[in-house]
Amino acid sequence: MKISIITACFNSVAVISHAMDSILSQTWKEIEYIVVDGGSSDGTVDVIKAYEPNFNGRIRWISEADEGLYDALNKGIRMATGDVIGILNADDFLPNKDVVENIAKYFCSDNSLDAVYSDIQFVNQTCITKPTRYYSSRYFRPFMARFGYLPAHPSFYCKKEVFERLGLYKLDYKIAADHELLIRFLVKENICARYISLVSVKMRQGGISTESQESTKVINIENLKACSDNGIYSNSVMQIGRYIFKIPGVIFKNGF
pLDDT by 10-residue block (mean), the chain, 256 residues:
98 97 98 98 97 97 96 98 98 97 98 98 93 96 96 98 98 96 98 98 73 78 97 95 91 89
Residue-level pLDDT at 209: 46
- The secondary structure of the chain as a DSSP string is --EEEEEEESS-TTTHHHHHHHHHT-S---EEEEEEE---SSSHHHHHHHHGGGGTT-EEEEE---SSHHHHHHHHHHH--SSEEEE--TTEE-SSTTHHHHHHHHHHH-TT--EEEEEEEEE-SS-TTSEEEEE--TT--GGGGGGT----GGG-EEEHHHHHHH----TT-SS-HHHHHHIIIIIIS---EEEEEEEEEEEES--GGGS-HHHHHHHHHHHHHHHHHTT----HHHHTHHHHHHHHHHH-TT--
**3-class secondary structure per residue, 190-202:** CCCEEEEEEEEEE
Q: Domains, the chain, ranges and CATH?
A: 1-109 (3.90.550.10), 116-149+170-256 (no CATH)
Residue-level pLDDT at 207: 52
Helix-helix angle 44-51:16-24, to 10 degrees: 20
Question: CA-to-CA distance for 212 and 108, rounded, in angstroms?
Answer: 42
> pTM value?
0.95
Residue-level pLDDT at 210: 47
Residue-level pLDDT at 212: 57
